[in-house]
Amino acid sequence: MTPNEHARLAGQASQILRENDRGAYTVPTKGLYPFQWNWDSCLTALGFAAFDEDRAWREMETLFAHQWPDGMVPHIVFHQEDEGYFPGPDVWRTGRPVPTSGITQPAVAGFTARRIYERSKDKAANAARVRALVEKIDRWHAFLCTARDPKGEGLVAIIHPWESGRDNAIDWDEPFQRVPGEGIAPYRRRDVDHADPAHRPTKEQYDRYLWLLEHFRRHGWNNGVLHDLSPFRVVDPGFNAILIRSCADLAALAEELGAADIARANRARAEKGLAALERLWSERHGQYLCLDRTTDSLVDSPSVGGLIAVFAAIPEARAGAIGARIMEIAKRCRYVVPSHDPADPRFDAKRYWRGPAWLIVNYLVSDGLAAAGMDAVAETIRASSLQLIEKGGFAEYYDPLTGEPCGGGQFTWTAAMVLEFLRGGEARALAPV
Ligand code: GLC
């Protein structure tokens, strides 16, 4: 890439961030997603940090201003009314002062906070605000490690597919058999007004998403009981790896800011999680798999969730196997990393999380691989990501076979990841745990 191309892409990416900026938070894209989303915001903060560090911290602070008293950080904050999205606040009815959803999303904040602080030009000026954020992130981690791991097994379960961030992944098909789809209030989806229905989750899946929502609502959004009362309890290696990495990074950041107790607690969480993650390894697939906690069995679904595991400091041999697997997949897919194994007959190149490639996933996986010393594979992913952008613009996700842009356009976190990829790899050792 020539310096001119580099500058042009960076300019376009920053422009998208500015266009989707609503002052103290950004929307993922106009139309389809008109509110603040949890992991979108944290990853977007990395993009802002490239040109406006204050705005980066504000993005995360706004999200954490809506943390629940029990420590949960909701997956959506409904800052203003918008008829264009379903299910809105009138369906969730969580009773929060500013309405929010009642479930969470991958806890990537510990990672992004550390990364932004590390690059901060004036650490002293930002220390107090970052310290306040660190305390909130710690409370969120504590929430996840208790409410979503009530037996203290070292791995947390998601209780709704939307919590994984990979809404309609093939991983959830089997566990979803136990979630009823009947008896829910009539509803009208809005996502299909903005995007091609053939690329979106199906009606059967939506019925079950809503059944779970209504079930949790009936139980007053009481996280003390929801885990055990949910017919859907899945341990996702991707969700857990992100949490483990965030715990390790938060520990390092807390240490630097003199919060020794927080550092200790998060280091312990990361160590326990890393040891427990081993239970999800599948020798047959050469990657990690989801575990259905209601049956205590692995879900036979080789998705990218099991590759995101490399984002945490997993054993070298496991990271090596994941790197090899991605290079194998690259033989079938022109663009990596697809969200599901293309050799699996269930793979669907255009349907959201059942095959398409997503830049945020590419970023997490390549960062983990680089940290594990696999720079060549990391570089393959980075090159693929930038080719997708050059070819199809800043889309929500891409068909990994053809590179066709799909879903929403001018997508915020895609733009943020481009700014990261343009910065070059960050091959550094992970925070020691
Ligand atoms: C979809 C994605 C989720 C993301 C949200 C907003 O629901 O599956 O990961 O956070 O859109 O972009």
Ligand 1: residues with CB < 6 A are 28, 33, 37, 39-40, 165, 167
Specify the residue with its C-alpha closest to ligand 1, atom 2. Answer: 165
* C-alpha of residue 165 to centroid of ligand 1, in Å: 6
Spatial neighbors of 229 by CB under 8 A, at least 6 apart, are 215, 219
For residue 298, list its beta bridge partners: 291
Tokens of 356: 């398409």
> How far apart (Å, rounded) are the C-alpha atoms in residues 106 and 39?
6
Index of the ligand 1 atom closest to the CA of residue 396: 12
Task: Look up the pTM and report it.
Answer: 0.97
Predicted pLDDT of residue 424? 79
pLDDT category at 2 given cuts 50, 70, 90 is confident
Index of the ligand 1 atom closest to the CA of residue 360: 9
Contact by Cβ (8 Å): 291, 299? yes
**Residue 432 pLDDT more than 50?**
no
- H-helix segments, 52-202: 53-64, 89-92, 109-118, 123-147, 161-164, 191-194
The residue assigned the tokens 């599948």 is: 282
Give the mutation target among 16, 20, 37, 362 for probing the ligand 1 site: most ligand atoms within 8 A of CB: 37
- Written as one letter, the residue type at 96 is R
> How far apart (Å, rounded) are the C-alpha atoms in residues 67 and 158?
18
Predicted pLDDT of residue 433? 36
* C-alpha of residue 264 to centroid of ligand 1, in Å: 32
Predicted pLDDT of residue 425? 56
Specify the residue with its C-alpha closest to ligand 1, atom 3. Answer: 165
* C-alpha of residue 257 to centroid of ligand 1, in Å: 32
* C-alpha of residue 308 to centroid of ligand 1, in Å: 16
Index of the ligand 1 atom closest to the CA of residue 40: 10
Give the mutation target among 39, 100, 167 for probing the ligand 1 site: most ligand atoms within 8 A of CB: 167
Closest CA to 422 of 362, 388, 395, 382: 382
Model confidence over 35-49: pLDDT tens digits? 999 999 999 999 999
* C-alpha of residue 256 to centroid of ligand 1, in Å: 32
Closest CA to 421 of 373, 372, 388, 374: 388
Model confidence over 259-281: pLDDT tens digits? 999 999 999 999 999 999 999 99
**Residue 171 pLDDT more than 90?**
yes
Spatial neighbors of 204 by CB under 8 A, at least 6 apart, are 181
* C-alpha of residue 105 to centroid of ligand 1, in Å: 9
* C-alpha of residue 179 to centroid of ligand 1, in Å: 21
Model confidence over 59-112: pLDDT tens digits? 999 999 999 999 999 999 999 999 999 999 999 999 999 999 999 999 999 999
Ramachandran region, residue 355 (left: φ > 0; alpha: ψ -120 to 50; beta: rest):
left
Model confidence over 173-190: pLDDT tens digits? 999 999 999 999 999 999
pLDDT category at 315 given cuts 50, 70, 90 is very high
> How far apart (Å, rounded) are the C-alpha atoms in residues 286 and 120?
38
Closest CA to 157 of 269, 256, 293: 293
Predicted pLDDT of residue 234? 98
Tokens of 423: 């910065």
Q: Which residues of 319-337 are buried (b: 16+ CB within 10 A; e: fewer)?
A: bbbbbebbeebbeebebbb
> How far apart (Å, rounded) are the C-alpha atoms in residues 8 and 324?
33
Burial zone of 424 (CB within 10 Å; 0-12 exposed, 13-18 middle, 19+ buried):
exposed
- Written as one letter, the residue type at 379 is E
The mean pLDDT of 424-433, rounded to a whole number, is 45
Index of the ligand 1 atom closest to the CA of residue 166: 8
Give the mutation target among 16, 20, 25, 33 for probing the ligand 1 site: most ligand atoms within 8 A of CB: 33
The residue assigned the tokens 């693929």 is: 384
- H-helix segments, 173-314: 191-194, 203-218, 223-229, 237-256, 260-277
> How far apart (Å, rounded) are the C-alpha atoms in residues 412 and 267?
31
Reduce the secondary structure of 327-382 to three states and give it as a string: HHHCCCCCCCCECECCCCCCCCCCCCCCCCECHHHHHHHHHHHHHCCCHHHHHHHH
**Residue 431 pLDDT more than 70?**
no
Index of the ligand 1 atom closest to the CA of residue 164: 9
Closest CA to 253 of 429, 110, 145: 110
**DSSP 3-state assignment of 75?**
coil
Predicted pLDDT of residue 1? 82
Closest CA to 187 of 203, 198, 201, 200: 203
Spatial neighbors of 67 by CB under 8 A, at least 6 apart, are 73, 74, 136, 139, 140
Share of the chain above pLDDT 70, in %: 98
Mean pLDDT of the chain: 96
Specify the residue with its C-alpha closest to ligand 1, atom 12. Answer: 28
Index of the ligand 1 atom closest to the CA of residue 408: 12
Enzyme catalytic residues: 167, 396
* C-alpha of residue 127 to centroid of ligand 1, in Å: 31
**Residue 120 pLDDT more than 60?**
yes
What one-character DSSP code corresponds to residue 433? -
CA 137 vs CA 103, 234, 345: distances in Å: 16, 23, 40
**Residue 312 pLDDT more than 70?**
yes
- Written as one letter, the residue type at 231 is P
Predicted pLDDT of residue 166? 98
Spatial neighbors of 247 by CB under 8 A, at least 6 apart, are 110, 141, 266, 267, 269, 270, 273, 433
Spatial neighbors of 386 by CB under 8 A, at least 6 apart, are 1, 9, 418, 421, 422
